[in-house]
Amino acid sequence: MLKFIAPFIIKRLLKKQNRTPSLVHGNVLKSVAVVADKSSDQFAIAQGYVNQLRQNGIKTVDFYILFPNQKIQDLYHTKLKDYPFNPKSFGFFGQFNTPELQGIADRKYDVLIDLSEGEDVHCELIIASIDAKWKAGRSTKHKEPLLDFMIDMKDKDLRNLIHHLDKYLMNFNKLSAA
């Protein structure tokens, strides 16, 4: 994929969706999508959080994992509802080349949680393509158009980010409090 075209593709996807964020309640969540980067040294923390969400009784927890290349992706043992992708999973102009990613348009989520660290156009394309009522993650300048709720943190510890996201999503934002 051409990296310099990616921002225009992302803007086009966001404009095409024309979505307005809506309130979601943590105690009635039915579907969650989590996006993470396998090359991050904190990937195990993100993977543990996805397992925790799956054990908490949320009906659908889909895990979108960016791998640096196809070889490393082939070594990973995916579970049901894991959607691995790598830079070769995208066509020349950002279209999806793998069947796992081509089904994104058919899926709808209550919440998308972005746990990808840094700037990666592939993760940003996935975030822009996923239809979610509410999108949350770490506060960064380049992800402002993509996310509805961002937490500004000085440290880069993924555990703290997950703690704050989980606290807001699951504890403060309950149906009985609204």
Distance CA 66, CA 177 (A): 36
pLDDT confidence of residue 176: 58
Q: Tell me: the pLDDT tens digits for 125-178?
A: 999 999 998 899 998 888 888 998 899 988 888 999 999 988 887 766 555 554
* Domain ranges within the chain, ordered by starting residue: 6-10+34-135
Q: Which of 1-5, 26-30, 85-89 has the lowest mean pLDDT?
A: 1-5
pLDDT confidence of residue 25: 67
pLDDT surpasses 90 at 28: no
pLDDT surpasses 70 at 47: yes
Cβ–Cβ under 8 Å, residues 150 and 138: yes
CA angle 88, 91, 93 (to 5 degrees): 135
Distance of CA 8 to the CA centre of its chain: 20
> Model pTM greater than 0.85?
yes
pLDDT confidence of residue 168: 83
For the chain, give the number of residues: 178
